[in-house]
Amino acid sequence: GDNIKICNEEFGTLLLTVNDLESWNEFGFFKAVIVNTFREFLAVFPENDQAEFIEEHQIERISFLMKIYRSTSSDDGISVAFTIIINGEIYSMFCTDQMQIAFKKGDCPARIDGNTSNMIFFKKIFNKSDPDVFSFESSLQKGYYLAFIEENGRRKLGLKKGQDDVDNTQAFDVHLETDS
């Protein structure tokens, strides 16, 4: 809960502040499909603990439920977490200490304490000339962004250090889905 702390009593005026721990609180979500610059869909394969970009439109593997979090401390962009439902099971995306992207069974918590999280990514506009294209910076690994990484002829989702020059591997088009 919140702790109320008396800061100062000056000229008969009592000033109070709310001392809340740094945290993220879930306050919304949206459904989205994420597409790279090659017009490939980001698809999740939790059985292999990975995500990669594919040309086929496999709706269950590409339809993300993106959770939006309000931060008590950060203004680094919109705080989001990625979840997906496959075969009736919900999976949450996170980054590992080894800078890999992985998935675990279960939903993201409604509240995440601290000012870093392996589940939170900052959604930022990638290029001011195209407001529908975004990059996603890791809150755990500052300066590292979700990117597609070429590996054995495939494009897998991973983390890549941000550069000063434009890196289109870190650019993602987020297509909002509407329930019909």
Q: Which domains does the chain have, with CATH numbers?
A: 21-176 (2.80.10.50)
pTM for the full model?
0.83
Tokens of 96: 């590992």
pLDDT digits (tens, 9 = 90+) for 58-92: 889 999 999 999 987 666 789 999 999 999 999 99
Segment 108-144, tens digit of pLDDT: 999 999 888 999 999 999 988 888 899 999 999 899 9
Rounded to an integer, what distance in angstroms lies between the CA atom of residue 179 and that of residue 152? 36
Rounded Cα–Cα distance for residues 180 and 161 (Å): 39
- Cα torsion angle, 23, 29, 33, 36, sign: negative
Record the tokens describing residue 112, joined without a space.
Answer: 């995440």
